[in-house]
Structures are given as C-alpha cells and as structure tokens.
Chain A
Amino acid sequence: MVTATPVKTEYEAIIGLETHCQLNTHSKIFCNCSTKFDSPPNTNVCPICLGYPGVLPVLNLEVLASAVKMGLAINGKIASYSKFDRKQYFYPDLPKNYQISQYDLPIVEQGSLEIEVVDKETKEVTRKTIGITRLHMEEDAGKLVHAGSDRLAGSTYSLVDFNRTGVPLLEIVSEPDLRSGQEAAEYAQELRRLVRYLGISDGNMQEGSLRCDVNISVRPKGQKKFGTKVEIKNMNSFSAIQKAIEYEIERQIEAIENGEPIRLETRLWEEGKQRTVTMRLKEGASDYRYFPEPDLPPIEVSQEQIETWKAQIPELPAQKRTRYETELGLSAYDARVLTDEREVAEYFETAVATGANAKLVANWVTQDIAAYLNNNKLNIGEIALKSEGLGELVNLIEEGTISGKIAKDILPELLTDGGSPKTLVEKKGLIQISDTGELEKIIDEVIASHPKELEKYRSGKKNLKGFFVGQVLKKTGGRADPKLTNQLLDKKLEA
C-alpha cells in the first residue's frame, strides 16, 4: 500500500510598517517651547502644548518644510491642499484629550522607497521597491512614568512629563509590501538614512526619535485573501524589528498549523525574552471621531514653494549608491557601506576629489578607518585625519612613494594627530625604495648572507621566496617596493 506524503504548506508574511519620526526643529509643532530631549520634567511646556483653555496653536513652518522634503525624498505626491484634524482619545499623556494629526487630506500620498537587501553569505545585493501609502504631520504625546518603574515601585499612581507633548512628528505608513524581518529592518534603516541625509531628524531609535510599529499577517503562498493582522509595538532597534517579525511569523504559522485562530491584537516585543506577548485585544476599529481642526487653517503649498524646498535636498543615499557603482566602479556592497552615513559619504567623496583612486579610498574608509571608528566609538568627523589627507595617503601609495604596509603603519598616528601624510613619511624617512640599483644591492646582500636557504630554494623549495622577501623588507625597514622586490628576487634566485 502506498501512502501519499502530505504536502507541506508554504506560507508568506504580509508586513506593513507605521513609522513615527520625531523632527529636530528647535521648537514644537504648534508653540514656541523647546523640543530638547532629556530636559528636566515639565520644563518645556506652555499653555498651548498643555491644552489650557482659550489658547491657539500656530503651525511651525519648519515642520511643513520637513514634511515636504521627506515627501519628495520618498517620491510622494505633495498635496496642493491639506488640513489638520483632531483625533480624539483619552489618555493621561494627552492633555487636550485629542491629538492634532491629519486624517483624510495628508500632506503626502503615494510614495515609494527602494530598499537593498544584502545576502549575509554572498554579500549579494537585491533591490525592491516598497510603496508608501501616506506621510502626515502630527504632534507627539507626553511621557508616562509607570508604576513599577524604579521610581514608582509599589505605587498606585503614574506620573506625567509633558515635555514631549507637541514635539513634531512625521508618520509614514508603508503599503503591506514587505515580506520578511530583514526587508522590514532594511526599510526602517533606509527611512533613517533619508531623515538624516535631509537633516530633519537624528533618527535615533534608542531615544525614541524613530519609532516603528509593525502590522503582520501570514497566509498560504498563492492565497489572495490576507490573514488576520497583528500589530507589534515596543521595538527600539533595527535588529529588534527583524527578530520580532521573525518570531511572530513562526508563532502565527505554528498557530495556523495547530488549528488555532490568530487573534486581532496588539502585541509587545520583549527584548529580554526575545518574544512577543499580548498587550491588548482589538475589539473592532477605534472610534477617534476625527473632524477638521478648527483652530488651524488649511495648507496650500505652491509649486514655487515646493521647488524652493526641493533645491535644498542633497543627493540622497540611493542616488549616491547608483553613482558610486556606475561612475566610480564600486561594488554594491561598498557603495552601501559608504552611503550609510552622509558624513562618511562626504568624507569619501572629498578624498576622491584629490585625484585618489576611488576603489582604494573606499577600501581604506570601509576597512581600516571604519575599524578605528568602531573601536574608539567615534564619528568620522571626530578623527584628526582629514579627507584630503586620506586622498594624499592613497596617492602616495599609487605613485609608489610608500607601500601599502607603510601606509597601514602610519595610519594610527595620522588618525590621532592628523597632518600631511607626505610630510610624515618624509620626516620618518619612510619613502619607498623604488630604485632598481639600490634594491639589487640589498637583495644581493640578503642572498649572500643566506646560502643554505638559497640552496634549498634552488633544489625545489620555492615557497622560501617569501622568506627572502621578508628579509629584504626587514633590511629596508619595510621601505622596499614589494612589487619590484618580487621581480628582482625572481631574477636573482633563479640565476
């Protein structure tokens, strides 16, 4: 009797992200209070952001500018007519009992973002476009210190700090185009790159200036109908986004396979236990009773104004990556590493502008300099070696003035003390010996003082060539031109 092997169902995850990005304006969205993070509690507050009776909000123009710039950066459609709305809900961190947000006429719609997913093994890069449904402006809520925190252990009340109330936010809602934890984390990172390049936010997840909520469901591959959606909150790093999604995909598939229903709910990511846990069940859609904000007039952004703001947008990461690959011949991986931070990309470009070889500059920035920055927890702007200096160093290697080894030896000093690599090389007497006559003389001396090794080499032990190269480098203090040394040794050892 033949028994059929049950076919294993393949599933796919459908993922969308809602991202809140805190803008780095000096003042809040509707009042003149400071937005400074970590100020003493309730010091950055006024009657407007505390929602006292009779006050009127006024829109901060810089918030609108940031929203439009971000809208352009995500290839979105900027609304010619937009308005604010009141989103009503009751919570102690919301002093007015409504949040000023945007509902049916957001400032930006129909955007997209290209992400690059890197294969960890092969380092191969694949590109994918993620749709962005909308981007809108809104105000942040205050911060609750909950019972159970160190400060409130065993207490029966909570404390509110309203400093964050009214800090401007952009909410960016993606289409459900993401299919894995890695894609979602990459999408969030690309958003972070954009806001940092635009200079509108520091995108710091740990401090809460970039917050992501994930909506996720799974369904058998090929099925058109979406599964039941679960929302996940409380992820404060890109790796947490990836891990929370991977965990949730497994959890939902397991539930379906066991015939258990997926509940419409909000879950929290527990970093310590690396799992998601139920926070609350969703009983139907929330009724926020949105209506137009009567205290704020509508916004009409002219084409002329859009062009002015567009002109202030720098070359963005995706454009840089393409240019580095096509014009400078860099690998997709190197282009990606170099463009991750705007400061690093600018450092790299200034070094290349000195006439230095782009691939060599890329190697120095992504390897030796990156390692130094990492080990010393520094930004590229904090090292003493200026980008022009790196260009000069690479040119010295290219011209044959110094070897790569000497460059590596002097790099630590350049990184801490700065200055001109050329001057340092001259001062230390490290200029490479590239004179054939001078090198031949040194090689002859080395061969003459190692007759046994020469005999072994000539009787077939060809790997001893490395020994002779080492001896020449030792004798010259590493200054012998490696290429020329190899050529001359080949000739002399075989003679």
Chain B
Amino acid sequence: MIDTEQVKKIAHLARLEITPEQEEQFTGQLSSILEYFDQLSELDTTDVPPTTRAIEIKNITRSDSMQPYPSREELLKEAPEQEGDFFKVPQILNTDEE
C-alpha cells in the first residue's frame, strides 16, 4: 500500500531525517494504519454529507480590538536563539518566501 519512496517523500515534507531501517519500519507501520482506516470504506456513505469537524459550529469570530500581550520577554526567551529583539535562525540565502 505504501512504499519506501512515499515514506521518503513524507519524511522530506516533514523535514525529518530518517535512517534506512526507519524507512522500512515506517513503510510497514503506515501501511497497516491505512489498512485499518480502509475498514471505513465498508460503510455506505452515499447520503452522508462530507464532514471536516466533529462539532457542528460555525461563524465564531471576535471584534477587531487590540490587546498587547503582557509578557513579551517571556515569549522571546522561548526562542532557541536570540539576538537583541530578534529570533536568530540559520542563514537563509534566498528570499524564498511564499
């Protein structure tokens, strides 16, 4: 159902570094998870509308009001690395922004 190439692709998308042993391991595990999910296709869902969430709520919004977060220092100190008021990250050479 799932082959090692797909596992490699998913690992790359998730930016995970995995060993060849783990590739084999995940290929088996992911295949069995999907087989387990496949049991759902035995159900007749012809008249069941597609659902994306368990709780049927909608239109939850807030008003456009500003409220500064009180403890900014607390937030900044969670950064793996910091320089002044900036978060420090590995060098980015191009402006590959989405």
A-side residues, CB < 8 A to B, are 25-27, 32-34, 40-47, 50, 52, 58-64, 83, 87-94, 99, 141, 144-147, 155-162, 233-234, 268, 279-280, 287, 289, 292, 294, 296-300
Contacts and interface: CB of A to CB of B under 8 A. Distances in A.
Interface of B: 9, 13, 15, 52-53, 55, 57-69, 72, 75-76, 78, 81, 83-98
Given A42-B85, A91-B97, A141-B97, A299 B58 contact: yes
A142 to B, nearest CB: 8
B45 to A, nearest CB: 17
B85 to A, nearest CB: 4
A161 B72 CA distance: 13
Given A60-B61, A62-B63, A156-B91, 12 more contacts: A25-B64, A26-B65, A43-B68, A50-B75, A88-B13, A89-B98, A91-B92, A157-B81, A158-B91, A159-B86, A161-B87, A298-B58
Given A83-B52, A300-B59, A42 B69 contact: no
Nearest to A148: B93
A62 B13 contact: no
B91 A155 contact: yes
Given A42-B87, A43-B72, A47-B69, A158 B92 contact: yes
Contacts of A64: 61
Contact of A40 (B68, B85, B97): B85
A153 to B, nearest CB: 13
Contact of B97 (A60, A144, A145, A294): A144
Contact of A146 (B53, B65, B92): B92
B88 A157 contact: yes
Contact of A61 (B62, B75, B90): B62
9 contacts: A27-B67, A46-B69, A87-B98, A91-B97, A99-B98, A157-B89, A159-B83, A289-B13, A298-B58
A42 B72 contact: yes
A33 B59 CA distance: 21
A59 B63 CA distance: 9
A141 B78 CA distance: 19
A34 to B, nearest CB: 5
A88 B66 CA distance: 28
Nearest to B70: A46
A60 B87 CA distance: 27
Contact of B86 (A27, A42, A52): A42
Contact of B87 (A32, A62, A159, A279): A159
A27 B61 CA distance: 13
A91 B87 CA distance: 13
A90 B15 CA distance: 8
B14 to A, nearest CB: 9
A242 B42 CA distance: 57
A62 B52 CA distance: 25
Contacts of A141: 97-98
Nearest to A105: B52
Contacts of A61: 61-64
Across the A-B interface, give the 8 residue pairs with the lowest CB-CB distance, nearest first: A46-B69, A159-B86, A62-B64, A32-B67, A92-B89, A61-B61, A292-B52, A41-B85
Nearest to A143: B97
Contacts of A145: 86
A296 B60 CA distance: 8
Contacts of B85: 40-43, 161
Contact of B92 (A26, A62, A144, A292): A144
B81 to A, nearest CB: 8
A88 B65 CA distance: 28
A144 B93 CA distance: 11
Contacts of A50: 75
A92 B53 contact: no
A41 B69 CA distance: 14
B51 to A, nearest CB: 10
Contacts of B52: 83, 292, 294, 298
B65 A161 contact: no
A88 B90 CA distance: 20
Contacts of A90: 15
A58 B69 contact: no
B72 to A, nearest CB: 7
Given A33-B68, A59-B61, A61-B64, A91 B78 contact: no
B41 to A, nearest CB: 19
A58 B90 contact: no
Contact of A158 (B67, B68, B90): B90
Nearest to A138: B98
Contacts of A94: 98
B59 to A, nearest CB: 6
B59 A297 contact: yes
B66 A26 contact: yes
A45 B92 CA distance: 22
B65 A32 contact: yes
B6 to A, nearest CB: 12
Contact of A47 (B15, B62, B75, B96): B75
Contact of A159 (B58, B60, B69, B88): B88
